[in-house]
Chains A and B, each alone.
Chain A
Amino acid sequence: QVQLVQSGGEVKKPGASVKVSCKASGYTFTSYYLHWVRQAPGQGPEWMGIINSSGGGTSYAQKFQGRVTMTRDTSTSTVYMELTRLRSDDTAVYYCAREDGAVAGIFDFWGQGTLVTVSS
């Protein structure tokens, strides 16, 4: 069965960086794109960007350009999302989500989420 297992919660100070991992299993890793979506407390989800699990190409939401980097390791079927220059409003649950193989922008499987707390 398809599983996306994320790394554990993080507490960071403003200005620091965080790197969250997402390990995929139960399907051919390189056949599907993966996205990162975050959700601040009490808010709707917010799309951050996408990574091509095969070639490694990325596309980021303009809001996060210059602060976010998404990478992948095909040997371990893992994708990573690093966010730098953290601010208090980056406090959120960060999810990886697999894109449906047939149609872009549909998220058919999600990780369990990683809470990132930014606080001084």
Chain B
Amino acid sequence: DIQMTQSPSSLSASVGDRVTLTCRAGHPITTHLNWYQQKPGKAPNLLIYAASSLQSGVPSRFSGSGSGTHFTLIISSLQPEDSATYYCQQSYNTPYTFGQGTKVEI
């Protein structure tokens, strides 16, 4: 199984800050990397797919980059509604695996 490691596990930032989340894969996965946002008591919501493609309806302040084993999710200007846990997930092969998440607090 491909292990996904996210850092940091949590962070606190202010409204308007630029925030960078990191995800590392234990095996090269080209750009088969997706990011999800999850708020308490809710299902995950797809933000970014294929490492850098913005899902329809997702605000443009979210962006993703990376390939191989190192990936980043950037929130360019943090908003109050961005308070959530963010998960990366590899779709390179099964079993699809997720990271343990980064909790973002405002």
Contact = CB atoms under 8 A, between A and B. Distances in A.
Contacts of B36: 107
Given A45-B87, A106-B49, A95 B43 contact: yes
Q: What secondary structure prevails in chain B residues at the interface with A?
A: loop
A63 B1 CA distance: 11
A29 interface: no
Interface in B45-96: 45-46, 49-50, 55, 87, 89-92, 94-96
Contacts of B94: 47, 50, 59, 61, 105
Interface residues of B, number: 24
B95 A45 contact: no
A66 interface: no
A44 interface: yes
A84 interface: no
Contact of B91 (A45, A63, A105, A112): A105
B96 A105 contact: yes
Interface in A63-120: 63, 95, 97, 100, 103-108, 110-113
Q: 8 nearest interchain CB pairs?
A: A105-B91, A110-B43, A61-B95, A47-B96, A44-B98, A44-B100, A45-B98, A106-B49
Interface of A: 35, 43-47, 50, 59, 61-63, 95, 97, 100, 103-108, 110-113
20 contacts: A44-B87, A45-B87, A45-B98, A46-B98, A47-B94, A47-B97, A50-B94, A59-B94, A62-B95, A97-B43, A105-B90, A105-B91, A105-B92, A107-B44, A107-B46, A108-B46, A108-B55, A110-B44, A112-B43, A113-B43
